[in-house]
Structure 1
Amino acid sequence: MDLTSLAALIGGYLLGSVPFGLVITRALGLGDLRQIGSGNIGATNVLRTGHKGAALATLLLDSGKGAIAVLLARALFGEAEAELAGVAAFFGHCFPVWLRFQGGKGVATFLGTLIALAWPVGLVACASWLAAAAAFRISSLSALIAALVASGFAWFTGPAGLAIAASLMTAVVFWRHRPNIARILAGTEPKIGKKG
């Protein structure tokens, strides 16, 4: 691996590993997010605190860190490094070194990364999430549907690097959602906006 690829990986990971949901909820006096609801550090669990502004800020910052990682790497190095940085930011969010590798499920960072890598794929992912959320009112199910649709669209329309990046992130999204999948199948997964 050359130095530019290594820089993209490390920089992307460190940027992605910033736990914005945890930082925001603590700053607002909402408690330790890891002790609320699902214990996840992402926007959906922040919403369970009842603070919609905090949830929106977390969503924007978690998606933004993926996008920024991509855009910086692209400007400094090139497209291959941008893909590496985006995937690394996603992994940083899911497995942050600061939290003993116990991070979020990566959905917002996944969406932000895809929007920056290839905006049509990112928009398809966002539209799929919104449509599924409107239909089912279950955030985790919406995320799984959006990830699958985005990966399929990336293989259909994009270069191999983009498709591989999207598929890798999709696989991790499904892995991180294993408990949610079990609850979906059991009919016990909470609806969007329900407090923990």
Structure 2
Amino acid sequence: MNTLLLTIAAYLIGSISFAVVVSKAFRLADPRTYGSKNPGATNVLRSGNKAAAALTLLGDCVKGWLAVWLVQQYGPQFGVGDDGVALVALAVFLGHLWPVFFRFVGGKGVATALGVLLGLNGWLGLATLVTWLVVAYAFRYSSLAALIASVFAPFYYGLLFGFDAKLLAVLVMSALLIYRHRQNIANLMAGKESKIGSKKK
């Protein structure tokens, strides 16, 4: 029962769409109406407001980290083990992808996935972040960086900790990230993908 309650709470935390909330606070257009129409930091950046994009990125990342950190810190005293941590990690990520507060229209999950990885282990999150940064710097495509980082994340986890329930959660997150980027993959192949920092049309 405790695991179920924590999983539901994690999903609700994940359902807070900071792209929409921050855009409203800054009186910007709804990020679901321009650019990629994705409620995420990269699309908010297309509004030209770097502060709003940074706050969106931070908020989406922190909610992933917070849910996992809380269950790892306090879950054991309520009988919640690694399986529960894995469920919470997935739940907060799924909340971002399909948020109950925003008619189940959410973002692609890159920042929240990073937060989850940082919550699971700092080194795991850092290795994945460095991978994203290197690819993004080299090619200027946020989507390509996310795709490559999502492929490497399960590898990093397995290298650090071996096979367990949390690795399965990371694998599922990676698969969903790739799925959510299917249009970006098509755009990259067609040479139509927008680069980091490009303004909304």
Instruction: Give me the TM-score of the superposition, normalised by structure 2.
Output: 0.93
Deviates more, 1:152-161 or 1:125-134: 152-161
Percent of pairs with identical residues: 45
Specify the alignment match of 2:122 in structure 1.
119
Distance 1:38 1:146 in 2: 20
How do residues 153-192 of structure 1 correspond to structure 2 at under 5 angstroms?
153-159=156-162, 160-192=164-196
1:32-43 → structure 2 map (5 Å cutoff):
32-43=30-41
- 1:76 CA drift (Å): 2.4
8 Å contact kept, 1:71–1:82: no
How far apart, CA to CA, are the structure 1 residues paired with 2:181 and 2:29? 24
Instruction: Quote how far apart the aligned CAs of 1:173 are.
Output: 0.2
Q: Which amino acid aligns with 1:12?
A: A
Q: 1:8, 1:82 within 8 Å by CA — same for their partners in 2?
A: no
Deviation at 1:170, TM superposition (A): 0.2
Distance 2:67 2:86 in 1: 9
Residue aligning to 2:53: 55
Q: What does residue range 73-152 of structure 1 map to in structure 2 within 5 Å?
A: 73-78=71-76, 79-80=81-82, 81-152=84-155
One-letter amino acid of the structure 2 residue matched with residue 115 of structure 1: L
CA distance in 2, matches of 1:191, 1:128: 17
Structure 2 segments unaligned to the other structure (5+ residues): none
Runs of 4+ in 1 over 3 A off after TM superposition: none
- State the SS of the aligned residue for 2:69: helix
| 2-structure distance, mates of 1:168, 1:107 | 13
> Residues 59-113 of structure 1: CA distance to partner in whole angstroms, max 9, x if unpaired?
0110000000011112221342233212111100001112221100000000010
Q: Name 1:194's counterpart in structure 2.
A: 198
Q: Distance in 1 between matches of 2:137 and 2:169?
A: 27
Task: Tell me how many residue pairs correspond in the alignment.
Answer: 194
Take 2:160 and 2:130, find their aligned partners in 1: how far apart are those partners?
17
Q: Which residue of 1 aligns with 2:43?
A: 45
Alignment partners' CA distance in 2, 1:82 and 1:195: 39
Look up the SS of the partner of 1:39 in the other structure.
Answer: coil
Distance 2:92 2:100 in 1: 12
Q: 1:15 aligns with which of 13, 19, 33?
A: 13
**2-structure distance, mates of 1:195, 1:85:** 36
Shift of residue 43, structure 1, vs aligned partner: 0.4
Quote the Cα distance in structure 2 between the aligned partners of 1:175 and 1:8.
26
Check whether the contact 1:83–1:117 (CA below 8 A) recurs between aligned residues: no
Listed one character per residue, the Cα deviations across residues 95-152 of structure 1 (whole Å, up to 9, x for unaligned) are 1112221100000000010011011111111000000001110000000111111111
CA apart distance, 1:17: 0.5
**Is the CA contact (8 Å cut-off) linking 1:72 and 1:82 kept in structure 2?**
no
Structure 1: runs of 5 or more not aligned: none
Cα root mean square deviation, aligned = 1.1
Larger deviation: 29-38 or 170-179?
29-38
Q: What displacement does 1:156 show?
A: 2.1
